[in-house]
Every structure is written in structure tokens, then in C-alpha cells.
Amino acid sequence: MFPFPFIKLAFGGVLVNISQGDPQPQLITNEKIRTGRAAKKTRFKNKGYFLLLLPPLIVFIIGMIIPLIMGIYNSFTDWDGISLTKSWVGFANYLEIFKDEIFMKAFKFTFLFMIFNTIIQNIAALLFAVILDSSIKAKNLYRVIIFSPVLLSPILVGQIWTKMYGDILPSLNDLLGTNLNFSLFSSPDTVLSGLLIANNWQWIGYWMLIYLAGLQAIPKELYEASTVDGGNWWQKFYHITIPMLAPSITICTIGIATGSLKVFELIVASTNGGPGDASQSLIMYIFNSAFTSQRASYASAMSVIFLIVLLIFAFIQLKVLRKREVEL
Amino acid sequence: MKRGFMKVASVLVVLGLLLSLAACSSKSSSSADGKITLKVLDWNTTNKNEAQKAIVETVKKQLPNVTLQFENINWDKDFNSVMQTRIAGKQLPDIIMIKGGDHPKYAQFLMDLSNESFMKEFPNDVRKTLQVNGKDYAVPYTANFQGVFYNKQIFEDNHIQIPKTWAELMDVAKTLKDKGITPFTSHFKDYQMGNSANQFATLEVFSKYPEWGSDLQKGKVSFAKSPEYKETFQHFKDIYENTEKDPFGVDFTGAADMFANGKTAMWIIGTWAPAQIFKNNPDFKLGFFPTPAVDAENTKLIMQSDYTFSASKATEHPKEVKKVLEILATDKNLAKEYINQVQTQSLLTDVVPDVKSDYVNDINTYKNAGVIDANIGNVQIPWPYQQQYTTYIAEWLLGKKTLEDALKATDDFKSKVKFQTN
């Protein structure tokens, strides 16, 4: 119903004139666009759509924007989370953050987690996608197997891997007669590797699907042309697949990076920041400061810093990766 | 589509969403026929359904128009965050179970019970340990006892005497180790390090200096310069060298499993553990002796006011809430039923549990020899501070820090701690 009256009016003039043999088509002036009856109807419909947008917008403002502003305000006070008084302290919380060793340790851990995750998950997901896009048998079965951990809650994944490292894998030692150290969660040196394995096990399937979709959008003619020109599989991969996948690479890299920086449930369900605080992620430290240590304003200041770091990251990645995208 | 339809539809949707938000409330409610529902925050996990049923039925018999609605959380993980969010949202439940030692933090939001007649049921020294600035904010209900639980069969088979000092405990550990038995059960993954630290500190530090924590706040003492705290930290090394292979990978349920199946001989924990032990092995022969201090004179039975019931200052039904608290404070049958279900000890006078097990008799014997309150340390050195310094102890045990570094880091952390002012 919607487009036809508009087109009739906007182009009606042209149609009518052409059919009448007039070689000069009627100009559609801005005046006509703004005041025409169809334009008014469009604006009214737009107002209607805006009104429908209002409920989620209200919820978004109440649930996210207002707490964000309140949190930023709190970071400049010395509030402890439950007392009724708050007093302004300026930048004291922020200055303390930069001298805080525990913050630096948590930041370093989270950062390393993000870097390794991004590299491993991206490459593995891409590899699996390429393999499972080819014509091997039972590829749907493999896709399901690789994707199913995505459906589990991170809490469950944490519990599963705790049991794996604690009981199941060490019992492999008894079976095979070997003496490998499988208890990756028990030492501060190996806990990062343990968490990386658990996290990648869960999420590779998800990013693999995005790469699969991207792969299937690459026109087959490019590969055929490359074969005609005598290109081998590496050249095809490097010069066709990767550039054409650039939008997917953008999505996956930014998604994995920002998701890894926010890791929380997996760690709470598996090591709880331990042993000691070797695997305490930044979000965990913020949460513990706010609720266990009763330093809500300090936690707010850390959250603001974290938000800025996340924004900078996303921005840099977006800029770098968008440049490499190829438009069809 | 009609003209006004979109407008009306969107307004209705907004109203619907807002109304649904209003339905989320955790305060009490009263319906038109005078029935009142009071919300209770509960973190007991032992036989919680039976324990709650006992309270609900007793209250229903005496106050027919009052229904209690329990909300269950986990003290270790959730209590602080739940309390904080409820306080911020002005949605504190009417009755709150608060662990002894936590009251100073929340006192400003709790009802003052000092002048209530039912508070006179409790002896003065029990009330004093829970008071904040001389005022009562809670009905004391249960107490736990903490110390060393041991496998009686293993001790009998190996003719082991009950140790009275830390050195004797280490001799026992050596004897067991030589026979191929793992002496101690450790579950450093969760709160055990904090609990053990509190036990050791209570015996070594607070028995000699009951005001040590306040002195720490004033800067008169420090961890690095305290030989007693050095002893406390040192105890962990002794345990670590005599415990199972992977203490940082085991949690409470795993530890109970190990101990109940005879894989380890001793477990330094409190009276909330036996229920879990007997779940694993109903025929377990369980004994108890107090955690030994370095000097025999400081070896005492550690007691802690555990469950207490407080009321929210902002409750809409103060009269009914006070009546419920009165029932809890005076009904000895209810108290006995409760502690039988929860398998703990009551703070009401002359209420003893029916649980027939050796460890209960052991505890009663040691009660007469001398009791020390674990909350002295808990109130002066807040729980988050204790948890943080056990992190430094863990780093020392794992070789990442020296003992001196760990003590110094504990001192440095002081500036980040919000001390409870008494």
C-alpha cells in the first residue's frame, strides 16, 4: 500500500506527460516532496514507528544510560555501596587505580587472555570453516559437534572443565601409564592456558558459522578464474578467500576481542580467580571491589577506565579492519 | 491501518512494560483480608526445606494471618551483593538471616531490638558479641564450632593421641604421613583458607591481644612486625606440606567426599561440615578436637554466632515482624527442631541437639574447658581483608612471594579496606 501513491504522484507527472507525448518531463521539486500528500503520510507513518520505538528506548535509557551516568558520578565520590552519604573526592579513585598492583595484574591477565583468544579462535574458526565448506563427508555432523558447546552456559563450561582437569584427564594418565600434568587450574603458571582451552572449546563453533556464511558468499567464479590462471590452493586462499572474507574477519576479531575482555562467568565457575588471584579478570576484580570489599566508587572508577579501553579497542580494530574490506 | 491506531498501540505497550516492572518487588505484601506475607532472606543450605518448614508451621500456628516467604541464597558468594542491591533499591526483606560478625556493616538499616522483652532470653555475653555500639540488632539463633574433625577409625588403628599444641599436631601429621595416610584435607579453592586463617588468628593473635584489629587500624601494629601473625601464616605452610596433592583444585564438596571416604585423616573446618560428611558416608566415625595453638594455654574451642535473625528498619509490618522474632527467640521446641535439621548448636539456653554422634560429645566436653569467640577477629579485620591476605599466603605457598613479601603485601592492602567502626 505504501509506495504506490508516492510513486504515482512523483512519477505520475512524468508518466502522464510522456504518454501525452510531451518531451519535457515534469520536475519534482523539493517543495513538492515536502508538502505533497504522500510525503505527509510518510512523515506520519514515521512518527508512528517512532512511537513504537519509544518503549525499548525508555527501557534503554532507564536501564543503561541513567546507570551509566550515575556510575560515572559515583566514581568521583567515596561511596561504599550501602551507606546513605556520599562525598565528592574528585580524581582520587582514578589516581589510586594506576598505583594498584592488583588492578595491573588483573589487567595484564585479561589482556593476555584477549590476545591469545583472538589469535587462536580466529585462526581455528577460519580453518574449520574452510575445511567444513569443502566436500568432505558428514560435514553437517562435524558442524553440529563443533557448534554445540556454544549452546552451553559459561557456568556449565567452567564446571565441565574443572572436572576435566581435576578428575577425567588425570585418569587418562592411569589408563595410558603416562604422567602428564593435566591439572591446569591448580597452578598460577598454567591457569591461563587452562582457561584458554575451555573458552576456545566453547566459542570456536560460533565464529566458525560466521566464517562459513562469509565463505559461501564468495562467488565461485573467482576460484575458477584463479584455477584457469594456474593458481595453487595457497594463492587461492591468500588472494581470494581472505580479502573476500574481510567483513567476517572484522566482525569476528572485534567480537572475540571485546568478548574476551569481558570474561567473568567462566572464571567464576571454574577457578574463582585462583589460585591466589592468578586468574582474576578485570571484571571479577571490579565486581569483588564493589560487592565484597564494599568500595563501590572505586569499582565505578575502574569500570569507567575499562569502558574507555574497550571503546578505544573497538575503534582501532574497526578502523584497521574496515580499510581492508573489499566491496563487491 | 487507522490513523490513531499506531499511537494507541504504542502507548498501551509502554504502559504494559512499565506495569510489568512495577510487579518486581521483594518487599512484603498485605492483601485485603488482612493476610500478611513477610519476606525472609535465608542462606542456610543444610536440610533447608525441612528447617524452613519448621519455622513456617510454628509461625502459622501462633500467627494465623502471617505467612513467611523464604528466599534462598548462598552466603559465601551472594550475601554481600544481594544485600547491597536490596538496600540500594529500598527492597530489603522484612526478616534477614545475618551471620554473626556482619551486623556492624548493616546496622544502620536494621531494626533496633535492644528494648524488646524477648532479648532478655539470651545471656549477656551472647548478646554482647553481637551488639553494635551497645545496641542489639539481631536475635541470636545458632552457633557453630570450629576446629579439627578427625577420622576416629584411623586414629584408633594407629594409636594416635589427641594433640594439644601445634607441635604435637605436626608430630601426628608426620606419623600418618609415614604410614602413607594423607594427614590433612584442604579445599583452598573456596573459602577454607579464609576460615583457617581466622581460626589460627583467633588462637594465636586475638587470644593474646583482643584489640589487635583496632590497633591495626590505628597504626599501632602491623602484620610484618607481628610474630603471632607470622605464626598464623606459617601454619599454612605446615598444612600445605601435609595435605592432598592438589589443594587448590578441591572445593568443599570434594573435600567432604575425600574425608568421608577415608582418604584423609583430619579436616580443619566447622560444624557445618558433618552434614555433608554423613551424606557421603552415613557410618563415618567422626571425632573432634580444638585446633591446637602454639602454646597449650591458647588452645580453646572456637565458637562463632552463626545464624541470627534481624529485621529491616523499613519494614511495613513492624508489629508482625517483632512477633515472629519473639517466636524465634522464645520457642524452644522450634529451636530444637531447627538445630536437629541444620545439625548445629543453638544459642537459646538449654537447647541441645538430638544428633548422636561422637563429635557432638567431644564438643560438649571441650566447651567446658574454654571457649573463644571467632567473631572477635571477624569484626576487627573484615572478611574481604582476610580473603585478600589468604591470596598472598597462596602466592607464598606457590612460590611466587616470600613470607616477608606476603606479610608486607597484607599491610599494604590496609589502605584499601573499609573497616567496620564499632
Can you list the domains of chain A with their CATH numbers? 3-64 (no CATH), 92-323 (1.10.3720.10)
Confidence at residue B156, expressed as pLDDT on a 0 to 100 scale: 93
Nearest 5 degrees, angle CA B80-CA B83-CA B88?
125
| Residue-by-residue DSSP string for A43-104 | HHHHHHHHHHHHHHHHHHIIIIIHHHHHHHHHTTB---SS-S---B-TTHHHHHHHH-HHHH
Scanning B151-294, the segments in alpha helix (DSSP H) are: 152-157, 166-178, 192-201, 212-218, 227-240, 252-260, 274-280
Please give the Cα distance from A28 to A127 (Å, whole number).
Answer: 54
Does residue B80 sit at the A interface (CB-CB below 8 Å)? Answer: yes
Coil/strand/helix, residue B135: strand
Interface size, chain A vs chain B, as Cβ–Cβ contacts under 8 Å:
100
φ/ψ of residue B18, rounded to 5: -65, -40
Q: Is the pLDDT of residue A115 over 70?
A: yes
Residues 6+ apart with CB under 8 A from A167: none
Contact at 8 Å (CB) between B305 and B126?
Answer: yes
Residue B255: CB atoms within 10 Å: 26
Q: Give the pLDDT confidence of A187-245 residue by residue, as tens digits.
A: 888 999 999 999 999 999 999 999 999 998 888 888 888 889 888 888 888 888 888 88
B394 inside 8 A of chain A by CB: yes
Residue A33: the pLDDT is 66
**Three-state DSSP string of B184-201:** ECCCCCCCHHHHHHHHHH
Look at the block and give the residue holding cell 556454544: A150
Q: Is B279 helix (H, G, I), strand (E, B) or coil?
A: helix
Distance from CA of B56 to the nearest CA of A (A): 30
**Domain extents for chain B?**
28-141+306-346, 144-304+361-416
Tell me the per-residue pLDDT of B311-331, one tens digit each, with 9 for 90 and over: 999 999 999 999 999 999 999
A80 touches chain B (CB under 8 A): yes
Residues 6+ apart with CB under 8 A from A150: A202, A203, A205, A206
State the CATH class of domain B144-304+361-416: alpha beta
- A219 touching B (Cβ < 8 Å): no
For residue A262, give how far its alpha carbon lies from the nearest alpha carbon of chain B (Å): 19
CA angle A177, A178, A181 (to 5 degrees): 140
Determine the residue of chain A that is closest to B21 in CA distance. Answer: A59
Least CB–CB distance from A166: residue in B249, B400, B417 = B249
Q: Quick check: A274 and B395 CB within 8 A?
A: no
Contacts with A, B 235-264, CB within 8 Å: 246, 248-250, 254
Q: What class does CATH assign to B28-141+306-346?
A: alpha beta
Of B152 and A79, the structure prediction assigns the larger pLDDT to B152
The residues with which B184 forms a beta bridge, in sequence order, are: B243, B266
Give yes or no for B89 touching A (CB within 8 A): no
Low-confidence ranges of chain B (pLDDT < 70): 1-3, 6, 10, 14, 17-18, 20-33, 421-422
Phi, psi of A159 (to 5 degrees): -65, -45
Q: Cβ of A291 under 8 Å from any chain B Cβ?
A: yes
Question: What residues are paired with B95 via a beta bridge?
Answer: B40, B311
| Residue A183, all three cell numbers | 591439572
Query: Residue A119: how many CB atoms within 10 A of its CB?
Result: 12
Q: Same topology for domains B28-141+306-346 and B144-304+361-416, yes or no?
A: yes
From A296, which residue of chain B is nearest by alpha-carbon distance?
B84
**Coil/strand/helix, residue B216:** helix
Task: Check CB contact of B87 with chain A, cutoff 8 Å.
Answer: yes
Average pLDDT of the segment spanning A260-280:
88
pLDDT in tens, A24-67: 666 667 776 666 777 777 777 777 888 888 889 999 999 999 99
Cα of A119 to nearest chain B Cα, Å: 28
Q: Is A67 on the interface with B (CB under 8 A)?
A: no
How many Cβ atoms are within 10 Å of B128's Cβ, its own excluded?
A: 12
Put simply, the answer to whether B394 touches A271 (Cβ < 8 Å) is no
Q: Which grid cell is A195? A: 582457561
Among residues B188, B165, B192, B166, which one has the least CA distance to residue B244? B188
Closest CB to B246 among A45, A52, A186: A186
Contacting residues for B297 by C-beta, under 8 A, at least 6 apart: none
**Which residues on chain B are in Cβ contact (under 8 Å) with A162?**
249
Cα–Cα dist B160/B163, whole Å:
9
| Set of chain B residues whose Cβ sits within 8 Å of the Cβ of A186 | 246, 248-249
- Give the span between the Cα atoms of A96 and A109, in whole angstroms: 19
ipTM above 0.85, yes or no: no
| CA–CA distance, B347 with B341 (Å, rounded to integer) | 15
Q: Given an 8 Å threshold on Cβ–Cβ distance, is B391 in contact with A277?
A: yes
Ranges of H-type helices in B212-370: 212-218, 227-240, 252-260, 274-280, 318-330, 332-342, 358-369
Pick from B187, B416, B420, B421 the residue to mutate for testing the A interface (most A CBs within 10 Å).
Answer: B416
Per-residue confidence (pLDDT) for residue B32, from 0 to 100: 60
Tell me how close the Cα of B99 comes to any Cα of chain A, in angstroms.
15
| Contact present, B71 and B39 (Cβ < 8 Å) | yes
Q: With a CB-CB cutoff of 8 Å, which residues 367-386 of chain B face chain A?
A: 383-384
Q: Does the beta-carbon distance from A48 to B10 stay under 8 Å? A: yes
Asked if residue A135 has pLDDT above 90, the reply is: no
The nearest CA of chain A is from the CA of B351 a distance in Å of 34
> What residue type is assigned to position B292 of the chain?
P
In chain B, % helix, strand, coil (3-state, to 5) comes to 50, 15, 30
Collapsing DSSP to helix, strand or coil, A259 comes out as helix
Residue A183 neighbours by CB under 8 Å, 6+ apart? A165, A166, A170, A190, B246, B249
How many angstroms away from the CA of A50 is the closest CA of chain B?
Answer: 9
For chain A, say whether B14 makes contact (Cβ under 8 Å). yes
Q: Chain A residue closest to B401 (CA)?
A: A276
Q: Are A245 and A215 in contact (CB under 8 A)?
A: yes
- List CB contacts (< 8 A) between A188 and chain B: 395, 398, 400
Give B266's DSSP letter: E
* Interatomic CA distance for residues B259 and B288, integer angstroms: 13
Q: Name the nearest CA neighbour of B383 among B42, B72, B80.
A: B80
Chain B CB contacts of A276 under 8 Å are 391-392, 394-395, 398, 400
- Measured CA angle at A178 (ends A177, A184), to 5 deg: 135
What residues of chain A lie within 8 A of the CB of B19, using their CB?
Answer: none
CA dist B144 → B68, B274, B362 (Å): 25, 11, 14
Q: Which residues 6+ apart lie within 8 Å of B309 measured at CB?
A: B95, B96, B97, B98, B138, B139, B141, B325, B328
CB-nearest partner of B395 from A165, A271, A276: A276
DSSP 8-state assignment for residue B271: T
Q: Which of B1, B3, B6, B251 to mutate to test the interface with A (most CBs of A within 10 A)?
A: B6
| Nearest CB to A275; choose among B254, B384, B398 | B398
B-interface mutation test, from A51, A167, A285, most B Cβ less than 10 A away: A51
A175: its cell numbers: 589408563
pLDDT at A69: 94
Query: Within 10 Å of residue A244's Cβ, how many Cβ atoms?
Result: 18
pTM: 0.79
B406, with CB counted inside 10 A (0-12, 13-18, 19+), is: buried
Lowest mean pLDDT among A6-15, A266-275, B255-264, B391-400: A6-15
